[in-house]
Structure 1
Amino acid sequence: MDSPSSSTGPQPISNSRTEGRRHSILPDFLSESLPIPPSFLGTSPIIREILSQDIAECSSDDEDEHAGASDAESISGQADAKLAFHPNGIVYGTGYSFVPIQGMDKPVPNPHEVEESLHAELSLLRDNAILPPKHHKPRPTHVFARLYRRIFSTKVKDHEGPIFPDIAVETTPLLHEMAAEFEPLPTPAPDEIERRFEFAVAHHEITTTWQREAKTLIQYSMPLIATFLMHYSVTIGSVLTVGRLGLVELAAVNLATMTASITCYVPVQGLATCLDTLCAQAYGSGHKHLVGLQAQRMTWLLFILMAPIAMVWWFSEPILAALVPSKETASQAATFLRVLIAGMPGVAMLESGKRFVQSQGLFKATTYALMIGAPLSFLQNWLFVFKFGWGFVGAAAAMAITQNLLPLLLVLYVWLIDGSQCWNGFNWKAFKNWGPMMKLALPGMIMIEAQFSVLEVLTLSASQFGTSQLAAQSILVTVTSTSFNIPFPLAIATSTRVANLIGANLSSAARVTAKVSIIAACMVGCLNLILFSTLRTQLPRIFTDVDDVIQIASQALLVCGVMQVFDAIAAVAHGLLRGIGQQAIGSYANLFSYYLVALPISLSTAFALGWKLTGLWMGITVGLLCVSVIELVYLYKTDWEVAAAQAAERLKSEDVAVEAKSRRPSHGV
């Protein structure tokens, strides 16, 4: 497999390191990158069809030599370096949860992931006293040092010397104790690490502690929390600035952004999820030029699909006017949507661009783009809305400009820093082979759309109670969406960690992670509950000065605060289900709870009982309670040893056979 020419990432490990590696890969324990590995589902004929056609049509002899292997060798050559089973729907920017897409394939791990998995195994072996510690440090004697070690130490077994006598550890005289304390001890060869890891797993000698799992979940989730908050801040900036303009404007921006999400943003994310597999497979198989081709193909496809959506947005005023009682609110929302049409190309390019860089292990690229784009979004809102006097249209313009700026920043990252090795320029062949990609992408889009459309129903329901209720709904959606960016990254971290442990046949360690993550979810939910309850009158004032809207929002925030507890638990429980390969259970539980529990209760309490906005959120709260109970009961009754065995069987069945390179026509890109 070709190694990426990254100047900053770790060097790929040699073949000797990967020989014999089966289910012991535990990737991304370290904090150097966002630990979001791509999808891992069953072997797919659609994937083979797409890649085989692209290889046949788009690979020149030079590229074949660069790949250095036949098709069969390049695509299946990494079979001995398999990552753990990992379900779809967790890559940054994709949907929260959906029924798994039948036919998605397991991507080949990139060298960055394999290298980090080796470090992870080494750390776990040291914590279990199977290998000596990284540094020879004497046991602490001070009472506070011992207390700190007992509370925060990640070691399962403390030891003073090497466990295995065949690993020499130099003993130093008293004179050199200070130097020896910080001198690194010799590390066994990768093959020896692998042998001992496999032996320890087979004899059930590896376990973990709640301290290590808490530390790992923090390392996984903190970068994600920052990334998600920065991404959502683009919407927050518009709501904050528009809220200062007036009541109608605040209601209109909620109606417009929710409509834009349901009709464009969410479907685009769902369609782009197929790149999680296609780009990673192309990169891992050594055909790096196909990574750029797949990203181009999806981008052009999204451009074409956006054309009719743009037409609907442009003529959306009569549609919204038929759904919303306030004609002024509908007119303002339609104006906002018309301006957002300018940001549509950026939305398509960003979704494809994220997968383009992530498939190469460049997980920080999107974060760096957001670190620049998010602050500029706030600056643009202030300039356009207040300084230039553009008002309501200025907020929409700021959002559209930011949507186009983010993919341009990704392009600059690829051009100037890393990732250009997978880009061979624009290619007319990106307009071919669309049929299989559509078959792969449509199921994900349909399921994500089905789950998110319930939010549009509630927004339209809130509009029936008047402009003040719709404006308050805008505040509640923004606040609850912002708070969700804490438990959701925690759910992603949980899914990643549990999948890795299950894939390594460490079911007991996975159960420890599950307990830690559920406790963490309860803590996060209770913290949000406290914040929502104590600041229920202060939070709405951040968005508006209208007393009527503040009063409505503050009353509903009490219900939203209770919802935070169940929201966090449901998110993490679903992450656990994804980690053990049972994400369909959580997805069907969500659909059942949203449409058969939450929606009927919301409409009944809001209209029949007259609770209005508070009633709408009461139904969502009960629905999330239902999801939490269903998923927690299923997890409690799950046999984790069976889940580990099923993951092992999936990994064994994922070898792919491809036709020999001699059958490919040799014409250039």
Structure 2
Amino acid sequence: MLNVSNRVTRAANAVAAASARLSMTAESTKALWDGLSKKIAQISEREPLKPATERTPLLHFDASVVPSNGVEDEESTLRKCIKPSHSSECQALFRLAFQMLLFGIVDFAPNFLSGVLTGHLSASHSSEFMAARSLALIFNMVTSTTLIAAMSAAMDTLCAQAYGAGQLRELGLFFQTGLLVFSIGFPPVALASFYCVELLEMAGQRRELAQLVRSLVLLALPGVPFAAVNTLMCKILQGQSRVEPLVGVGLMASVVQATLLYVFMFQTPLGFTGSALAISTTLAVYAIVLATYLYRSGLYQREWPGWQFSEAVRLMPEFLRLGVSGMAMFVCEVWGFAAVGLSSGMLPHAAAVVSADSSYANLRWLGALWYAAISLAGSVRVGNALGANDPARAWHTTKLALGLSTACSLVASVAMLLLHGVLPFAFTSDERVVSITSKLLLVTSPLQVFAAISSVSQGIFRGCGLQALGAKVNFVCYILLAVPVGLLLAFPLEMGLLGLWLGLNVGFIASGLFSAKTNDMCSPRRGLLR
């Protein structure tokens, strides 16, 4: 009996101990679960949107949303938190990029048609006309297009982030600030246009060719103010991912411009210079139609705060900070292209070489439309995410945009490789021009991936407000590297136009590699904004 009693006592004690351990385990599990829940809440919790009184949509990066260095469990938790939004963000980016592609096509098509018509306007003067058109584009790129690019770069950042933060009235104020900036910058552009012959002669161009360029530049000058207004309106819509209206208006403008190109160039004495007048007229029509859409759609009533000159002036320092840095980004890259175009006029058989340069540049841009569209879409989506105080989504969008652009560039490379002997005939039947252009397409086709990464990186920089960093990258890659290498290959090593473009592709490679590696672009641990 005593043994049985002892066994019962020991069993009771064991049951009690097990119960105690079970109770402690339950309490520990509950405490662990509560701690884990709080940790997840801290990681996934967003700060509230800024109040309506906030005037500057640029934000500081929220480090609490991202993992800290070396903490693997927090990285895993972060990935779990943002994984459900990956699919929707990819769909949104792809949809917006496709819309941007359509917009880019309808915007590019008239200029492409202008080049084709110019090349076929006169068999005896085809190379001369194409060379003048190419130099006119380069001159405008360095003057009026640079000014508009500065406004565009500032609007890319400000509009996307203001919309993401819900500051809709800011959009109208940014429009007014852009008009003020343009009114200050346009007089020097007009003055340079009137003296373009002398400026081109200083750059080593023949006077006869420079005079042809002057006729195009002066006829295009009245369209520059309309182009500036169009850019401001387009950026307001793009910042809200409203691209369908731009595609519709652009399609209408393309039809108008194609009609005017044919009438002015082939049915009037204007001939070669009719293309510039057609472009100026189309820009005016585009501005009127787009302004009408903004008014009738209700966006004007929602986003226009009335004329507020003092507020627009107050925003100018921030606008100029982003705009000047964005202009520096654009200028450094464009001057690389301009150096190719201007230097090509100093090579033997200058007319044919410049004509080939124009043909190749147009064909290359046709392939680059894909990743240019992704660049614009990435800029908008990243800006919206940062304006909404969601840097994790901005980080993910950056990776998506870079990956998608790389895939598209591979398609463009294959197309250039397979069709290099056929595409040049779209512009001219001159055998020398076709031969040079075909060789350029063949040799540079494998390098498009670096141009794609570089292009998308520029868009991400603009969406993040990192124009200053982008300007530094472009200055090193294009001014300090691409231009000297291109001139070295073209003249001392006698590689001609191919050497100039290979030098420019060295800049693409350097910019692409830097942008793919830099922590400012790809790491969520560092601030994406100032």
The residue type equivalent to 1:74 in the other structure is A
**Runs of 5+ unmatched residues, structure 2:** 1-43, 60-75
Note if 1:404 corresponds to 2:284: yes
Alignment-mate amino acid for residue 100 of structure 2: L
- Kept after mapping to 1: 8 A contact 2:142/2:335: yes
Alpha-carbon distance in structure 1 between the residues aligned to 2:239 and 2:523: 33
Q: Give the distance between the partners of 2:300 and 2:522, measured in 1 at CA.
A: 45
Is 1:460 aligned with 2:342? yes
Match of residue 368, structure 1, among 233, 241, 248? 248
Change in 2 beyond 3 A, CA 1:214/1:433: closer
- Counterparts of 1:517-536 in structure 2 under 5 Å? 517-536=401-420
Q: Which residue of 1 aligns with 2:53?
A: 75
Q: Give the conservation status (yes or no) of the 8 Å contact 1:532–1:557.
A: yes
- Cα offset, 1:329, TM superposition: 1.7
C-alpha deviation, 1:489, in angstroms: 2.0
Describe the SS at the equivalent of 2:405. helix
User: Aligned letter for 2:448?
Assistant: Q
Q: Which residue number corresponds to residue 391 of structure 1? A: 271
Q: 2:115 — aligned with what? A: 239
**Matched-pair contact (CA < 8 Å) for 2:326–2:462:** no
Structure 2 residue 431 is the aligned partner of structure 1 residue 551: no
Give the AA of the match of 2:253: G
The gaps in structure 1 that reach 5 residues or longer are: 1-20, 27-71, 78-103, 108-199, 655-669
Letter in 1 for 2:53: I
Report what 2:234 is aligned to. Answer: 354
Alpha carbons of structure 1 residues 305 and 527: separation in structure 2 relative to 1, 3 Å: same
Instruction: Please tell me whether residue 451 in structure 1 is matched to residue 333 in structure 2.
Output: yes
Compute the displacement of 1:461 (Å): 0.4
Deviation at 1:309, TM superposition (A): 1.6
Partner in structure 1 of residue 213 of structure 2: 333
Q: What TM-score do you get using the length of structure 2 for normalisation?
A: 0.75
Deviations along 1:328-362, one digit per CA (max 9) or x if unpaired, are: 22111111001011212212221232345556775
Query: 1:538 & 1:580 partners in 2: Cα distance?
Result: 41
Matching residue's letter, 2:46: H
Which structure has the larger Rg over C-alpha atoms?
A: 2
Structure 1 contact 605–616 (Cα < 8 Å) conserved: yes
Secondary structure in structure 1 of the residue aligned to 2:491: helix
Q: CA deviation at 1:380?
A: 1.4
Q: Secondary structure at the match of 1:467?
A: helix
Whichever residue aligns with residue 452 of structure 1, its letter is V
Whether the aligned pair in 1 keeps the contact of 2:375 and 2:455 (CA below 8 Å) is yes
**Counterpart selection for 2:512 from 628, 633, 640:** 628
What amino acid is aligned across from residue 359 of structure 2 in structure 1?
Answer: I
How many angstroms apart in 2 are the aligned matches of 1:510 and 1:427?
36
Cross-structure match for 1:131: none
Matching residue of 1:321: 201
The answer to whether structure 1 residue 537 and structure 2 residue 421 are counterparts is yes
Does the 8 A contact of 2:177 with 2:312 survive in 1?
A: yes
Question: Considering only aligned residues, what root-mean-square deviation do their CA atoms show, in Å?
Answer: 4.0
Which structure's residues are more often helix, by fraction?
2
Q: Is the CA contact (8 Å cut-off) linking 1:326 and 1:467 kept in structure 2? A: no
Partner SS for 1:485: helix
CA shift in 2, pair 1:635/1:413, >3 Å: same
Contact 1:488 1:572 in 2 (8 A): yes
- Residue 486 (str. 1) matches residue 370 (str. 2): yes
Secondary structure of 1:75's match?
Answer: coil
Change (3 A) 1:383 1:517: same
Q: 1:160 matched to which residue of 2?
A: none
Q: Distance in 2 between matches of 1:460 and 1:561?
A: 23
Q: Shift in Å at residue 327 of structure 1?
A: 2.8
- The answer to whether the 8 A contact 2:461-2:467 is kept is yes
Residue 302 (1) aligns with residue 302 (2): no
SS in 1 for 2:298: coil
Task: Tell me the residue number matched to 2:24.
Answer: none
Asked whether the equivalents of residues 267 and 449 of structure 1 are also in contact (C-alpha less than 8 Å), the reply is no
Structure-2 change in CA distance of 1:524 and 1:358 (3 Å): closer
List aligned pairs for 1:151-190, cutoff 5 A.
none
- 1:518 Cα deviation after fit: 4.6
Q: Report matched runs for 1:90-105 at 5 Å.
A: 105=57
* Distance apart, 1:225 and its partner CA: 0.9
Please list the CA deviations of residues 476-525 of structure 1 after superposition, one character each: whole Å capped at 9, or x if unmatched.
11112222221122234445556778964658x956x6665555333322
* Equivalent AA in structure 1 for residue 106 of structure 2: M
Paired-residue identity, %? 22
What TM-score results when the alignment is normalised by the length of structure 1?
0.60
Q: What is the identity, as a one-letter code, of the residue corresponding to 2:375? A: A
Q: How does 1:17-416 map to 2 (within 5 A)?
A: 23=46, 74-76=52-54, 105-106=57-58, 204-207=80-83, 215-245=91-121, 246-275=126-155, 288=169, 291-292=171-172, 294-357=174-237, 362-416=242-296
